Chains A and B, each alone.
Chain A
Amino acid sequence: MPINYYIFLAVILFCIGVVGVLTRRNAIIIFMCIELMLNAVNLLLVAFSKAHHAVAAINAGPAGTTAGTDGQMFVFFIMVVAAAEVSVGLAIIVMMYRNTHSVDVNFLNRLKH
Chain B
Amino acid sequence: MNVLILSIFWGIVMMFSGIALKKKGIATGLAIAGVLILLLGNLGDMSTVVITTSTFNDMLAFRGYNVLFISIVLVATLMYFLVSGREIENVGTGGFDYYALIFFVLTGIVIASSFNNLLMLFLGIEIISIPLYILTGSDKKNLKSNEASLKYFLMGSFSTGIMLLGIAFIYGDSGSLAIVPAPSPFGFSFTSLPTLSAVGALLLMFSLAFKVSAAPFHFWTPDVYDGAPTVFTSFMATIVKAGTFIAFFRMFAGGFASVQGSWGLAMQVIIFLTLLIGNLTAVFQQSAKRMMSYSSIAQAGFMLLAIYAHNDMAKEGFLVYTAAYVLATIGVFALLSRVADPGFQGFNGLAKKEPLLAATTTICLLSLAGIPLTGGFLGKYYMLVATAKAGGPFWLVIFAVICAAISIYYYFRLIIAMYFKEGNPEMAPVSRGLKFWLVVLCVLILALGIFPYEVLLNNLLSL
Contacts and interface: CB of A to CB of B under 8 A. Distances in A.
Interface of A: 3, 7, 10, 14, 17-18, 21, 27, 30-31, 34, 37-38, 40-41, 44-45, 48-49, 51-52, 55, 67-68, 70-71, 73-74, 77-78, 81, 84-85, 88-89, 91-93, 95-96, 99-100, 105, 108, 110-112
Interface string B206-235: 000000000000000011001100000000
Contacts of B177: 70-71, 74
A41 B159 CA distance: 13
A41 B157 CA distance: 13
Nearest to A31: B154
Nearest to B166: A41
Nearest to A48: B172
Given A51-B172, A74-B122, 12 more contacts: A3-B172, A34-B154, A34-B157, A41-B164, A45-B171, A68-B175, A74-B177, A88-B153, A95-B149, A96-B147, A105-B150, A111-B148
A108 B150 contact: yes
13 contacts: A10-B168, A14-B165, A27-B154, A34-B154, A73-B119, A77-B119, A81-B122, A81-B123, A84-B130, A88-B133, A92-B153, A100-B143, A110-B147
Given A88-B130, A108-B147, A30 B123 contact: no
Contacts of B151: 108, 111
B459 interface: no
B164 to A, nearest CB: 4
A112 B167 CA distance: 34
B341 interface: no
A74 B171 contact: yes
Contacts of A38: 160-161, 164
B164 A78 contact: yes
Contacts of B226: 111
B144 interface: yes
B306 to A, nearest CB: 29
A20 to B, nearest CB: 10
Contact of B223 (A17, A92, A111): A111
Interface residues of B, number: 38
Contact of B146 (A52, A85, A96): A96
A111 B144 contact: yes
The secondary structure that dominates the B interface is helix
B225 to A, nearest CB: 10
Nearest to B59: A70
Contacts of B146: 92, 95-96, 99-100, 108
Given A44-B172, A70-B176, A85-B157, A96 B150 contact: yes
B60 to A, nearest CB: 15
B87 interface: no
Contacts of B149: 92, 95
B134 to A, nearest CB: 6
A70 B116 CA distance: 14
Shortest Cβ-Cβ A-B pairs, 6 listed: A37-B161, A48-B172, A41-B164, A108-B147, A111-B223, A52-B175
A24 to B, nearest CB: 11
B436 interface: no
A19 B149 CA distance: 22
A88 B134 contact: yes
Nearest to A73: B119
B158 interface: yes
Contacts of B144: 110-111
Interface string B358-383: 00000000000000000000000000
Given A34-B157, A34-B161, A44-B168, A111 B175 contact: no
A21 to B, nearest CB: 5
Given A34-B154, A89-B133, A111 B147 contact: yes
B171 A71 contact: yes
